[in-house]
Amino acid sequence: MNLKVLYVCSEVFPLLKTGGLADVSAGLPPALQALGADVRLLLPAFPSVVAGVTPEGSTLLVPPGGSPGLPEGVGPQATSAHGPTPWLRAGRITDSGMPVWLLHAPGLYERDGNPYLDEQGRPWPDSAEQFAWLGWAAALLGTGLDAGWQPDVVHGHDWHSGLAFAYLRELARTAEHRPASVFTIHNLAYQGVFNAGLRPRLGLPDTLFHLQGLEFHGQINFMKAGLKYSDAITTVSPTYAREITGTEQGCGLDGVLRQRQAHLHGILNGVDDAVWNPLTDPLVQPGFDADHLQGKAQAKTRLQTHMGLQPRPDALLFSVVSRLTEQKGLHLLPAVVDELVQRGGQLAVLGSGDAAIEQALRDCAQRHPGQVALTVGYDEVLAHSVIAGADVILLPSRFEPCGLTQLYGLRYGTLPLVRAVGGLADTVVDCSLEHLDDGSASGFVFQDLDVPSLLAALKRAFALQRRPADWRAVQRHAMALRFGWARAAGEYLQVYRSVLPT
């Protein structure tokens, strides 16, 4: 019998994406299917998601908390006294054929743009309800709402799915069907913390609201619910799995994670070969591979021209494709730009986010016209162009649960320059002499989150450029590395099996 997995998440590439979470929701489920699992996604019915799904088959009502047959005080209250009951619509993602449940709830998801933030960058005022309903729908499906498809495993991602595990615990007391549950942390820094006064509305009884439950400094913490009430926890790299059990990276939840250490697994993310393959990438033509780099040279010239950089083939072209946030350590970048340019380098940045980081980078671009370029915004096509055309991709992250762009960089022969944290430490090997010697070098790695360390790594990149044969050898090794989803999917299946009843 195929293992049935309900995969609960808030975004999926290419329908809705704010970051790597969406890439994972697109890459991991098909890899699980390829290993024989029967996977269905559960997502809120945001407009761009609805537009990319072909409805198929049934609709199921999602009874609010307190409905007949459900335990008292558990589950969110109806959103509007007069609105219809939320419902689940079955379908398939039109392009990939992946089965999906879409959760429709009157007034909660019918809005365009970022699923978490309004146009001013503030959290939506009803964020708690949006994702409480997602968790509730997951818990109901997990305990048999759809008699025809009862999941063996509920696998939720990030805080948006956290309440699923609390509701499941309550529903499982009386339900006939109790699934195993797995919660994956993609970023511990975003926890979904809300006012305790919302408890009655969200249907979170007192039995859940205490230090050993989902209470966090007097507030409701969705992430903590996932950590406390799931059978197993995973996160997206082995190093991050260790880091988050310490105070520095634990974001206040390290104690909880230490308690659950025996059930905490680090599983490195993969790369979706259908999207990020330099030979077949439709956004980067002509394609290239390690033996035929002409296409990469052309991509560099195109990128330089497109971003207003001087089209110098010999300029060492550094790049950033990122959310511009504290997490990514990009506040360090402006301080090294003058030296980078002085040494003959160029910098191409694509990103958006923090206004202060944006402004500092804009100032750099103004100071160095033709050598430093910034494009503010989110642009999938340009992201591929940058990763294909640059020589180096920068991730000086303060913390990085996994990081995907360094993996994309490796695949495209764009050497990652990274800080040794989280998934970056697990995937990039510095060009030190010993690593050059044994053939394991794949990029540039620095330790401390400060300007001198970043600068030293930049200098190593320039030094390697002056040794073209070594550069080629490192690039060839980087391009041959494979971080496939098949391996990750195999590890997830092992975790599922470890928590299934025997």
Contact partner, 236, from ligand ADP, ligand GLC, none, Cβ < 5-8 Å per class:
ligand GLC
28 binds ligand ADP (CB under 6 A): no
Which residue is closest to ligand ADP by CB? Answer: 20
24 binds ligand GLC (CB under 6 A): yes
158 binds ligand ADP (CB under 6 A): no
Residues 6+ apart with CB under 8 A from 33: 39, 98
Determine the interface stretch with ligand GLC among 241-249, 306-314, 398-406, 451-459 (rule: CB under 6 A). 398-406
322 binds ligand ADP (CB under 6 A): yes
Neighbour order of strands in the sheet with 317-324: 372-376, 346-353, 317-324, 392-395, 415-419, 444-446
Q: Which residues, 340 to 369, sit near ligand GLC by CB under 6 A? A: none
- Token readout for 50 is 């609805």
Q: Is 262 exposed, middle or buried (CB count within 10 Å of its CB: 0-12, 13-18, 19+)?
A: exposed
Cβ atoms 12, 21 nearer than 8 A: no
| Whole-angstrom distance, CA of residue 240 vs CA of residue 470 | 31
**Total of chain residues touching ligand GLC, rule CB under 6 A:** 14
418 binds ligand GLC (CB under 6 A): no
223 binds ligand GLC (CB under 6 A): no
Determine the interface stretch with ligand ADP among 164-172, 321-329, 355-363, 465-473 (rule: CB under 6 A). 321-329
Exactly one of 11, 20, 115, 411 binds ligand GLC (CB under 6 A); which one? 20
| Whole-angstrom distance, CA of residue 149 vs CA of residue 69 | 20
- DSSP string spanning 301-330? HHHHHHHT----TTS-EEEEEEEESGGGTG
Beta carbon nearer to ligand ADP, 60 or 417: 417
465: part of which helix (H) or strand (E)?
Answer: helix 451-465
Residues 6+ apart with CB under 8 A from 159: 131, 190, 191, 192, 221, 222, 223, 226
Exactly one of 27, 86, 396, 403 binds ligand ADP (CB under 6 A); which one? 403
Q: Which residues, 109 to 168, sit near ligand GLC by CB under 6 A? A: none
Contact partner, 11, from ligand GLC, ligand ADP, none, Cβ < 5-8 Å per class:
none
Cβ atoms 152, 4 nearer than 8 A: yes
Q: Is 260 exposed, middle or buried (CB count within 10 Å of its CB: 0-12, 13-18, 19+)?
A: middle
Minimal distance, residue 18 CB to ligand GLC, in Å:
8
Minimal distance, residue 306 CB to ligand GLC, in Å:
26
**Total of chain residues touching ligand ADP, rule CB under 6 A:** 18
350 binds ligand ADP (CB under 6 A): yes
| Whole-angstrom distance, CA of residue 446 vs CA of residue 491 | 29
| Whole-angstrom distance, CA of residue 395 vs CA of residue 397 | 5
Exactly one of 130, 181, 405, 475 binds ligand ADP (CB under 6 A); which one? 405
351 binds ligand ADP (CB under 6 A): yes
Q: Which residues bind ligand GLC (CB under 6 A)?
A: 19-21, 24, 186-187, 236, 269, 400-404, 423
